Structure 1
């Protein structure tokens, strides 16, 4: 069996012990490769295991330790990369049969930063086709299950990352988030996931460098502890010339933020955001958990944002933006990859991809600008709320994990759109605010429930400080299944 001492370590713990010479990077990698081999079939978290690359990088880290060289903040820490993002020399399938043999030529900018920090890429994690979905399933690798019940989906689109963390196959994983793709699997897999402020982590988007703007796409850390996520964010963040939207370095120490007091911080608690139906069990878990902020010194008040919108308005606006993005994706496949997703290659796509993009009505410019009006209403409601409060706490998802192949059609007596009508994350991809999903507790059936914590513009440090304070009052590290 894999070494339980190693697979239970945090990323911060791994880096500390490697630097001190107490554990070798090679021993860590071998233990986790063994655990992946033993357990990956449970959840289907990893789709590619980069064992040779991991062993080679581990040897380099160990040699640096032996030679007394300075090491990066993630020295010897194995990390998983989502199969939408490039690691040089490794297959990036995007979960699609159209790209199942595509090998990346170069590292994504954030991968380069992780490697420069002496992290070790141990594999690629599963995602729905092109990341288009709130559940993880595709025609190349199949579905990914939550470690708490592998017959239920891990969420998407960073489902493989969430499952890999929740099953303790790796201490750190990277996710991406255009409509909740970090926070959704974090909720379903009982881990911590942070969607940083838009522009905090650089994205290399080509041929359209501006394509990740509407709705806002974010890259961010996923981990089993808030400190680990902050450690990863410290490494990933900062301006980069390939991304016209990256934020300047404001000097924030994200790890230090996790040690900060939240005394007097004002939290607006709106479990349903004022417009979403919630499963009663989810609401009960959140109502019980939110007092952790008060016990940590914050002031919690029940307050909904002043939205003159229905849930359907938000979802319709999101779909309007997303369809434009997806059509542009198909254009890039045609021009950059010489593929024909609208014609000869159409049968290789998932039916849901075809139905959502190819068989839906094209978005008009008028519809696009009307969706911007809805987006502005969301932004203004949040602006007004954050003028009075420091943080907003709400549900991440309206439901606990559900079985593979199923989607909710009704929640607490209210009909919902099955694919995304149970997700409370999309408003913050339209506004760009930092938002995290915290493990809040469990349903009576032992299924994880996430609480979404949202900060003011660029206040990633407040989100991390509150998340860490919550974790200290309601620790979750012992909850993961063996």
Structure 2
């Protein structure tokens, strides 16, 4: 393999092969990573609570010694990794971007982190996120804001914004994140990388206070290539009996295609803006339709699909479920001195709105959710995948908390502008964000979202890999690093 002058240009699979072929030492990889982090991270603020260089280099040396002795931990052997700040990584604070939790140092690894460490990764720090992961805009009072990798004047998205920027800027070869309301997909779209929300239960979340109801959020992978995305998912996933709703069926062999054959005859149901239900900024629909033409050019059949559900009823049910899940997390901190002043207003709103919610409200919302799921199953009798934009806006100014108006329509909640992300989440279906193109200014990326059939994560990855071949020209584009800032 020909090695570039900057080792951070290697994707994760190339990096793994070079390390295992002894073309690169783990120390060299760590040195190159830390050099880039120290140069770019002060401006990008993607990685927080970075571990000391000497401690990380000692871990890299141990990985080299293991390889010299004929032992490899796995695909991520010696690979630097930063964990989203929702994940427990022993020795690092799990702050959720909240000042009240700045000293909450984890003593154990979460399931996902345990699996990535077992595959050989070296945890170098955490990645930044909005407080409690609420709102698809990465800023908090503890660490500050993470600007977009392509334009530092606008949002990186969220809540896995730090992870997305770290991958886009080559601070990390791959990243983990979590997705509740598009948190793996939205920042992937706005930073021109791949992000995947796996099927509900594919990547079990542990430790967790509740393992039965709290299933809207899930952890998953982000990467610059589909191969890296799928390989990281294969490491993260697998049944954990402590999470009783985790999937027992294996992900299966990825077997990613070397050509576009999976697109021939693929039936894509294009939902667009749900016949006007979703407020959408100018240009996003057209950009996604440009990406769909790439599918069609390889033999896919793209049909515009009327939404097979009552979108407003689904939104109302979503609000009930979301409040039921978010409110207890906020309530757990409200007893601390000064908590109401320290916690962001959006989190307090979720908590306060939940106080009037009854068990009957929740059960009715669950029935609506059940009916919605059945309606999507019916749609999958006619199509293989569903498609819609990943986001409803282009990246907005960094100093703005959230978009209050889209295309002349007022947003009635702080997250209504992210409504297009709820459908895969509410149905527990796998969804992937594909780089689709850019705003006419050339600085703001957009993404196309594909939603797959229940538990068909591997099939969705194969479709994404075939698209990756058709979009090679688009995917070659990358943000330019100049003097530690991005132009």
The two structures have a TM-score, normalised by structure 2, of 0.91
Counterpart in 2 of 1:296? 298
State the Cα distance separating 1:346 from its structure 2 match.
1.9
Counterpart in 2 of 1:279? 281
Distance in 2, Cα, partners of 1:182 & 1:373: 27
Please say if 1:318 is aligned against 2:315.
no
Taking structure 1 as reference, are residues 308 and 363 closer, same or farther at Cα in structure 2, changes over 3 Å only?
Answer: same
Matches within 5 A, 1:153-302: 153-213=155-215, 216-250=216-250, 252-254=252-254, 256-257=255-256, 259=258, 261-262=261-262, 263-274=264-275, 275-302=277-304
Please say if 1:441 is aligned against 2:442.
no
Counterpart in 1 of 2:453? 456
Q: CA RMSD in A?
A: 1.9
Counterpart in 1 of 2:330? 330
CA contact under 8 A between 1:305 and 1:381: conserved in structure 2? no
State the Cα distance separating 1:243 from its structure 2 match.
1.2
CA contact under 8 A between 2:326 and 2:350: conserved in structure 1? no
Deviates more, 1:387-396 or 1:59-68: 59-68
Distance in 1, Cα, partners of 2:59 & 2:298: 40
Distance in 2, Cα, partners of 1:376 & 1:209: 19
Taking structure 1 as reference, are residues 25 and 258 closer, same or farther at Cα in structure 2, changes over 3 Å only?
Answer: farther
Matched positions, count:
469
Distance in 2, Cα, partners of 1:323 & 1:55: 43
Counterpart in 1 of 2:427? 431
State the Cα distance separating 1:467 from its structure 2 match.
0.9
What are the ranges of 5 or more consecutive residues in structure 2 without an aligned counterpart?
Answer: 481-487
CA contact under 8 A between 1:340 and 1:346: conserved in structure 2? no
Distance in 1, Cα, partners of 2:413 & 2:328: 24
Distance in 2, Cα, partners of 1:309 & 1:211: 22
Q: Secondary structure at the match of 2:175?
A: strand
State the Cα distance separating 1:192 from its structure 2 match.
0.6
Counterpart in 1 of 2:86? 84
Counterpart in 1 of 2:483? none
Q: Secondary structure at the match of 1:453?
A: strand
CA contact under 8 A between 1:258 and 1:464: conserved in structure 2? no
Taking structure 1 as reference, are residues 326 and 65 closer, same or farther at Cα in structure 2, changes over 3 Å only?
Answer: same
Counterpart in 2 of 1:59? 61
Deviates more, 1:74-83 or 1:425-434: 74-83
Counterpart in 2 of 1:369? 363
Taking structure 1 as reference, are residues 359 and 426 closer, same or farther at Cα in structure 2, changes over 3 Å only?
Answer: closer
Aligned with 1:349 (options 343, 362, 365) = 343
Distance in 2, Cα, partners of 1:58 & 1:194: 29
Q: Secondary structure at the match of 1:222?
A: strand
What are the ranges of 5 or more consecutive residues in structure 1 without an aligned counterpart?
Answer: 334-338
Please say if 1:473 is aligned against 2:470.
yes
Matches within 5 A, 1:91-170: 91-170=93-172
Distance in 2, Cα, partners of 1:172 & 1:315: 33
CA contact under 8 A between 2:192 and 2:447: conserved in structure 1? yes
Q: Secondary structure at the match of 1:426?
A: helix
Counterpart in 2 of 1:379? 373
Consecutive aligned runs of 4 or more in structure 1 exceeding 3 Å deviation: 51-54, 257-261, 330-333, 358-361
Counterpart in 1 of 2:352? 358
CA contact under 8 A between 2:237 and 2:251: conserved in structure 1? no
Q: Deviations over 1:317-343 (max 9, x none)?
A: 22211111122213444xxxxx615x6
CA contact under 8 A between 1:128 and 1:156: conserved in structure 2? yes
Distance in 2, Cα, partners of 1:217 & 1:46: 22
